[in-house]
């Protein structure tokens, strides 16, 4: 019950907020055209290296990307 409510509140609520203003504007669309998925240099964890998380002790972002610690 809690989770269903959270889905509506956060996900569906967020989608509504996101679509409220200027979504898909010309400028945004142009920027999107400049960055097609196949030209992305980020690749994926499979081709970029080990999918290990950010090394929080080192304090730097690892090539594999990291996450955000919360409550």
Partner 1 sequence: MTDELRRLAGAAWAFRARVEREASSRFVRLAAAIPAFDPASPVTDLLRRAADDEDRHATLCAELATAYGCQTGGTAVDVPIAPRSFAARDAVLYEIVAACCITETESVATLATLLTGTAEPRVRMVVHEIARDEVVHGRMGWAHLAREAAVRDVAFLAAWVPSMLEGGLDGAIFAAGERDAAPDDLLRHGVLPRSRKREIFVGTLEEVVFPGLEKLGVAAAPARAWLAERLARRSSPGAGCFGN
The footprint of partner 1 (CB under 8 A) covers: 2-4, 6-7, 9-11, 13-25, 27-29, 31-32, 35-37, 40-46, 48, 51-54, 56, 59-71
Output the smallest distance, CB 26 to partner 1, in A. Answer: 10
Determine the 3-state secondary structure of 39 from DSSP: helix
Give the list of residues 6+ apart from residue 43 with CB closer than 8 angstroms, or none: none
Output the smallest distance, CB 30 to partner 1, in A. Answer: 9
Output the smallest distance, CB 19 to partner 1, in A. Answer: 6
Please, which residues bridge with residue 55 across strands?
Answer: 60
Determine the 3-state secondary structure of 64 from DSSP: coil
């Amino acid at each position: 019950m809690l989770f269903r409510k959270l889905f509506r509140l956060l996900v569906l609520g967020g989608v509504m907020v996101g679509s409220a203003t200027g979504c898909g504007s010309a400028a945004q669309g142009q920027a999107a055209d400049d960055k097609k998925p196949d030209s992305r240099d980020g690749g994926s964890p499979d081709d970029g290296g080990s999918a290990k998380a950010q090394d929080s002790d080192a304090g730097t972002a690892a090539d594999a990307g990291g996450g955000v610690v919360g409550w």
